[in-house]
Amino acid sequence: MPELPEVETFRRYIEAGALCSPIRRTEVRNRIVLAIAPEELERRTQGAMFRSVRRHGKQLFLELSSCGWLTWHFGMTGEPVLFMDGEEPRFPRVLFHFPDATLAHDDPRMLGRIGWTATIEEFVRRKRLGPDALSISRSDFVERFAGARGAVKPALMDQHRMAGVGNIYADEVLFQSRLDPRTEVGRLSRQDLEGMHRNMRRVLKLSIDRGTDFSRFPRSYLLHHRRRGASCPGCGGTVETVTLGGRTTYFCPACQMGRAPRRAAGGGR
């Protein structure tokens, strides 16, 4: 699933190639990906332009010259594709046709959603999204997580507490912080939380800087070893898995020793 770095990469991609060009026609091929009636989407976009593009967590917002913002979530497999005639992607679900190019929501599994909101603030409030993971201050991060319950991995992925971090980057942040993902959040010290905030910013920024190309990440990152039984890049031990919050979690028990409960919360190895 596209997480904050991937969506930030999408934002820059759209900003570079799809702004300030009139939308001649909006074509909906699969209305299942819409959180708005097709007729309303066509009415709001016809003849309008995308004036700017912003991001909050995993959510993208495209400002319409006509009024309001198009909302764009990419689900598990969605991505924006800008193409010329004859270069159509394989799974275009919604297409915005400009005079010289087309912007498509390409989504094999159709789990993404496109909608509309009057303001970004109203959308964030209605969806009860937490602060953006790259914008949240250290003090706000500590306050929000110090009061959390349960294991630290699901807490990091809770979009109501903080928006943007998903399964893959949560694993990496905890590995870089040397924290066991099963650790009860309430058992973490302020120093632990400040370190986690620092590592989260570093991991997310590095991913954005390297175009979310995992092959360009340092070999010391767990991302290269997210396989059960793989060798840990830190100590050479064995990477193990546990299910937390319904998601498979990869970690090294030898490196990530901090404050884990005796029994894994939410699943076994």
58 is catalytic: yes
153 is catalytic: no
Name residue 222's amino acid.
Answer: L
As a whole number of angstroms, the distance between CA 253 and CA 257 comes to 6
Catalytic residue among 2, 5, 131, 154: 2
Tokens 């058992």 — which residue? 187
127 is catalytic: no
Catalytic residue among 3, 6, 8, 63: 3
2 is catalytic: yes
Catalytic residue among 11, 55, 58, 93: 58
As a whole number of angstroms, the distance between CA 225 and CA 55 comes to 29
Q: What is the DSSP string of 13-51?
A: HHHHHSSS----EEEES-GGGBSS-HHHHHHHHTT--EE
The end-to-end CA distance of the chain, in Å, is: 23
**Catalytic residue ranges:** 2-3, 58, 247
